[in-house]
Structure 1
Amino acid sequence: MADSQRTSEPINIVHQDEIWKAHVKLEKDSAEVWPRKWGFLTDIYKEYKMESVKMKETLKVGLPSHEVVPSLTTLQKHNHVGPSPPVPQTTQALIGWRSGHAHLQLEKYSTVHHGRRSFLKELGWPFDACY
Protein backbone atom coordinates (compact mmCIF):
# COMPACT_ATOMS: atom_id res chain seq x y z
CA MET A 1 0.00 0.00 0.00
CA ALA A 2 2.88 2.32 0.71
CA ASP A 3 4.32 1.60 -2.75
CA SER A 4 1.14 2.72 -4.50
CA GLN A 5 1.17 6.04 -2.63
CA ARG A 6 4.80 6.91 -3.44
CA THR A 7 5.00 9.73 -5.92
CA SER A 8 8.63 10.76 -5.53
CA GLU A 9 10.03 8.03 -7.83
CA PRO A 10 8.67 7.68 -11.36
CA ILE A 11 7.67 4.20 -12.47
CA ASN A 12 9.28 2.98 -15.66
CA ILE A 13 6.71 0.59 -17.13
CA VAL A 14 8.98 -0.45 -20.00
CA HIS A 15 11.76 -1.38 -17.59
CA GLN A 16 9.33 -3.37 -15.41
CA ASP A 17 8.14 -5.20 -18.54
CA GLU A 18 11.71 -6.07 -19.55
CA ILE A 19 12.40 -7.50 -16.09
CA TRP A 20 9.25 -9.62 -16.34
CA LYS A 21 10.24 -10.88 -19.80
CA ALA A 22 13.68 -11.85 -18.49
CA HIS A 23 12.10 -13.85 -15.64
CA VAL A 24 9.74 -15.64 -18.02
CA LYS A 25 12.58 -16.44 -20.43
CA LEU A 26 14.71 -17.81 -17.59
CA GLU A 27 11.87 -20.06 -16.44
CA LYS A 28 11.29 -21.32 -20.00
CA ASP A 29 14.98 -22.01 -20.57
CA SER A 30 15.25 -23.80 -17.23
CA ALA A 31 12.26 -25.99 -18.09
CA GLU A 32 13.92 -26.98 -21.37
CA VAL A 33 17.31 -27.75 -19.77
CA TRP A 34 15.98 -29.64 -16.73
CA PRO A 35 15.34 -33.00 -18.45
CA ARG A 36 18.93 -33.11 -19.75
CA LYS A 37 20.44 -32.27 -16.35
CA TRP A 38 18.05 -33.97 -13.94
CA GLY A 39 15.93 -36.30 -16.08
CA PHE A 40 17.69 -39.35 -14.68
CA LEU A 41 15.87 -38.76 -11.42
CA THR A 42 12.52 -39.47 -13.05
CA ASP A 43 13.82 -42.76 -14.48
CA ILE A 44 15.20 -43.84 -11.11
CA TYR A 45 11.93 -42.92 -9.42
CA LYS A 46 9.96 -45.00 -11.94
CA GLU A 47 12.28 -47.97 -11.32
CA TYR A 48 11.93 -47.56 -7.56
CA LYS A 49 8.15 -47.43 -7.85
CA MET A 50 8.05 -50.62 -9.96
CA GLU A 51 10.33 -52.42 -7.48
CA SER A 52 8.25 -51.39 -4.50
CA VAL A 53 5.05 -52.61 -6.19
CA LYS A 54 6.73 -55.96 -6.94
CA MET A 55 7.95 -56.28 -3.36
CA LYS A 56 4.50 -55.52 -1.96
CA GLU A 57 2.95 -58.16 -4.18
CA THR A 58 5.51 -60.83 -3.31
CA LEU A 59 5.74 -60.21 0.42
CA LYS A 60 2.19 -59.19 1.37
CA VAL A 61 3.29 -58.84 4.96
CA GLY A 62 0.98 -57.19 7.46
CA LEU A 63 2.03 -54.58 9.96
CA PRO A 64 4.17 -55.68 12.90
CA SER A 65 2.29 -56.17 16.13
CA HIS A 66 3.64 -52.96 17.67
CA GLU A 67 2.41 -50.89 14.70
CA VAL A 68 -1.11 -52.31 14.55
CA VAL A 69 -3.63 -49.69 15.57
CA PRO A 70 -6.07 -51.13 18.11
CA SER A 71 -9.73 -50.89 17.33
CA LEU A 72 -11.86 -48.26 18.96
CA THR A 73 -13.70 -50.79 21.09
CA THR A 74 -10.48 -51.99 22.76
CA LEU A 75 -9.51 -48.39 23.46
CA GLN A 76 -12.87 -47.75 25.04
CA LYS A 77 -12.46 -50.81 27.27
CA HIS A 78 -9.18 -49.52 28.74
CA ASN A 79 -9.84 -45.78 28.88
CA HIS A 80 -12.62 -44.53 31.08
CA VAL A 81 -13.25 -40.82 30.78
CA GLY A 82 -15.45 -39.36 33.46
CA PRO A 83 -17.16 -36.00 33.47
CA SER A 84 -15.02 -32.95 34.14
CA PRO A 85 -15.60 -30.84 37.22
CA PRO A 86 -17.38 -27.54 36.64
CA VAL A 87 -15.29 -24.73 35.18
CA PRO A 88 -14.27 -22.16 37.81
CA GLN A 89 -15.84 -18.73 37.81
CA THR A 90 -12.56 -16.78 38.02
CA THR A 91 -9.40 -16.96 35.97
CA GLN A 92 -7.29 -17.34 39.10
CA ALA A 93 -9.16 -20.51 40.05
CA LEU A 94 -8.71 -21.79 36.51
CA ILE A 95 -5.02 -22.54 37.11
CA GLY A 96 -4.78 -26.18 38.14
CA TRP A 97 -8.52 -26.70 38.55
CA ARG A 98 -8.45 -30.18 37.03
CA SER A 99 -5.37 -31.36 38.92
CA GLY A 100 -6.97 -30.55 42.25
CA HIS A 101 -9.24 -33.57 41.98
CA ALA A 102 -7.78 -36.98 42.85
CA HIS A 103 -9.43 -38.83 39.97
CA LEU A 104 -8.03 -36.34 37.42
CA GLN A 105 -4.42 -36.45 38.62
CA LEU A 106 -1.72 -36.76 35.96
CA GLU A 107 0.38 -39.15 38.02
CA LYS A 108 -1.13 -42.52 37.27
CA TYR A 109 0.55 -44.65 39.90
CA SER A 110 1.72 -42.30 42.64
CA THR A 111 3.80 -39.23 43.17
CA VAL A 112 7.39 -39.38 42.03
CA HIS A 113 9.89 -39.61 44.87
CA HIS A 114 13.44 -38.88 43.82
CA GLY A 115 15.92 -38.69 46.63
CA ARG A 116 18.11 -35.64 46.82
CA ARG A 117 21.68 -36.56 46.14
CA SER A 118 24.74 -34.46 46.60
CA PHE A 119 27.75 -34.85 44.35
CA LEU A 120 29.98 -33.55 47.11
CA LYS A 121 28.54 -36.01 49.62
CA GLU A 122 29.12 -38.92 47.22
CA LEU A 123 32.78 -37.93 46.86
CA GLY A 124 33.15 -37.39 50.57
CA TRP A 125 34.10 -33.73 50.16
CA PRO A 126 33.05 -30.96 52.52
CA PHE A 127 30.07 -28.92 51.36
CA ASP A 128 32.07 -25.68 51.28
CA ALA A 129 34.58 -27.21 48.79
CA CYS A 130 32.79 -25.56 45.85
CA TYR A 131 31.58 -22.00 45.74
Structure 2
Amino acid sequence: MATDIQESKPINFVDRDEIWKVRLKVEEESAKIWPHKWGFLTEVYKEVSPSPPVPQTAQAVIGWRSTQPHLQLESYGRVNHGRRSFMKELGWTLESCT
Protein backbone atom coordinates (compact mmCIF):
# COMPACT_ATOMS: atom_id res chain seq x y z
CA MET A 1 0.00 0.00 0.00
CA ALA A 2 1.43 3.36 -1.04
CA THR A 3 1.70 6.10 1.51
CA ASP A 4 1.07 9.77 0.88
CA ILE A 5 4.08 10.84 2.89
CA GLN A 6 7.27 11.13 0.87
CA GLU A 7 10.67 11.01 2.42
CA SER A 8 12.47 14.30 1.94
CA LYS A 9 16.06 14.37 0.83
CA PRO A 10 18.52 16.41 2.85
CA ILE A 11 19.06 19.92 1.46
CA ASN A 12 22.57 20.76 0.37
CA PHE A 13 22.77 24.48 1.07
CA VAL A 14 26.21 24.86 -0.54
CA ASP A 15 24.94 23.48 -3.86
CA ARG A 16 21.85 25.67 -3.75
CA ASP A 17 24.06 28.71 -3.06
CA GLU A 18 26.32 27.87 -6.01
CA ILE A 19 23.32 27.49 -8.32
CA TRP A 20 22.05 30.87 -7.16
CA LYS A 21 25.45 32.48 -7.85
CA VAL A 22 25.52 31.03 -11.36
CA ARG A 23 22.02 32.33 -12.06
CA LEU A 24 23.00 35.82 -10.92
CA LYS A 25 26.16 35.74 -13.05
CA VAL A 26 24.23 34.66 -16.17
CA GLU A 27 21.64 37.38 -15.61
CA GLU A 28 24.34 40.03 -15.15
CA GLU A 29 26.12 38.95 -18.35
CA SER A 30 22.83 38.92 -20.24
CA ALA A 31 22.09 42.46 -19.09
CA LYS A 32 25.44 43.61 -20.49
CA ILE A 33 24.92 41.89 -23.86
CA TRP A 34 21.26 42.89 -24.33
CA PRO A 35 21.79 46.44 -25.68
CA HIS A 36 24.14 45.15 -28.39
CA LYS A 37 21.80 42.38 -29.52
CA TRP A 38 18.36 43.91 -28.95
CA GLY A 39 18.95 47.64 -28.49
CA PHE A 40 17.39 48.39 -31.87
CA LEU A 41 14.00 47.63 -30.33
CA THR A 42 14.26 50.76 -28.18
CA GLU A 43 14.67 52.91 -31.30
CA VAL A 44 11.35 51.74 -32.75
CA TYR A 45 9.41 53.51 -30.00
CA LYS A 46 10.98 56.83 -30.97
CA GLU A 47 9.68 56.46 -34.54
CA VAL A 48 6.02 56.06 -33.51
CA SER A 49 4.08 59.31 -33.60
CA PRO A 50 1.76 60.26 -30.72
CA SER A 51 -1.92 59.37 -30.75
CA PRO A 52 -4.55 62.00 -31.49
CA PRO A 53 -6.36 63.47 -28.47
CA VAL A 54 -9.05 61.28 -26.87
CA PRO A 55 -12.58 62.34 -27.90
CA GLN A 56 -14.88 63.88 -25.29
CA THR A 57 -17.95 61.74 -26.07
CA ALA A 58 -18.34 58.00 -25.65
CA GLN A 59 -19.72 57.60 -29.17
CA ALA A 60 -16.68 59.30 -30.70
CA VAL A 61 -14.32 56.93 -28.89
CA ILE A 62 -15.28 54.04 -31.18
CA GLY A 63 -12.69 53.98 -33.92
CA TRP A 64 -11.09 57.30 -33.01
CA ARG A 65 -7.58 56.02 -33.68
CA SER A 66 -8.50 54.41 -36.98
CA THR A 67 -9.40 57.79 -38.47
CA GLN A 68 -5.70 58.63 -38.57
CA PRO A 69 -4.01 57.07 -41.63
CA HIS A 70 -0.74 56.31 -39.82
CA LEU A 71 -2.56 54.49 -36.99
CA GLN A 72 -4.77 52.22 -39.09
CA LEU A 73 -4.39 48.47 -38.69
CA GLU A 74 -4.41 47.87 -42.43
CA SER A 75 -0.98 49.40 -42.99
CA TYR A 76 -0.43 47.26 -46.09
CA GLY A 77 -3.85 47.85 -47.66
CA ARG A 78 -7.21 46.16 -47.31
CA VAL A 79 -7.49 42.41 -47.41
CA ASN A 80 -10.14 41.14 -49.81
CA HIS A 81 -10.89 37.47 -49.57
CA GLY A 82 -14.20 37.36 -51.37
CA ARG A 83 -16.77 34.68 -50.79
CA ARG A 84 -15.46 31.19 -51.27
CA SER A 85 -17.03 27.89 -50.54
CA PHE A 86 -14.95 25.02 -49.23
CA MET A 87 -17.52 22.63 -50.65
CA LYS A 88 -17.22 24.13 -54.14
CA GLU A 89 -13.44 23.99 -54.03
CA LEU A 90 -13.60 20.26 -53.31
CA GLY A 91 -16.33 19.72 -55.88
CA TRP A 92 -18.80 18.38 -53.31
CA THR A 93 -22.52 18.95 -53.26
CA LEU A 94 -24.14 20.73 -50.34
CA GLU A 95 -26.09 17.59 -49.45
CA SER A 96 -22.92 15.58 -48.87
CA CYS A 97 -22.33 17.15 -45.45
CA THR A 98 -25.82 16.78 -44.03
Indicate the TM-score class for this superposition, using the shorter chain for normalisation: 0.5 to 0.7
Matches within 5 A, 1:1-20: none
Amino acid at match of 2:88: K
Q: Which residue of 2 aligns with 1:105?
A: 72
State the Cα RMSD in Å: 3.7
Deviations 1:61-92 (A, max 9, x none): 863799522375x332xx140451x4333212
SS at match of 2:33: coil
Q: Judging changes above 3 Å, is the alpha-carbon distance between structure 1 residues 113 and 45 closer, same or farther for their aligned structure 2 residues?
A: farther
Deviations 1:95-130 (A, max 9, x none): 111112323212221223335443212221112322
SS at match of 1:120: helix
1:63 aligns with one of 14, 33, 46:
33
Residue-pair matches, total: 86
Matched, 1:44 2:15: yes
Q: Judging changes above 3 Å, is the alpha-carbon distance between structure 1 residues 66 and 109 closer, same or farther for their aligned structure 2 residues?
A: farther
Amino acid at match of 1:48: I
Q: Which residue of 1 aligns with 2:87?
A: 120
Structure 1 spans left out of the alignment, 5+ residues? 1-35
SS at match of 1:63: helix
Q: Return the index of the structure with the highest Cα Rg.
A: 1
Amino acid at match of 1:125: W
Structure 2 spans left out of the alignment, 5+ residues? 1-7
Matched, 1:91 2:58: yes
- Percent identical across equivalent pairs? 40
Query: Is the 2:51–2:65 contact (alpha carbons within 8 Å) kept by the matching residues of 1?
Result: no
Q: Judging changes above 3 Å, is the alpha-carbon distance between structure 1 residues 105 and 66 closer, same or farther for their aligned structure 2 residues?
A: farther
Work out the CA distance in 2 between the residues paired with 1:124 and 1:68: 50
Work out the CA distance in 2 between the residues paired with 1:65 and 1:45: 30
TM-score for the superposition, normalised by structure 1: 0.45
TM-score for the superposition, normalised by structure 2: 0.55
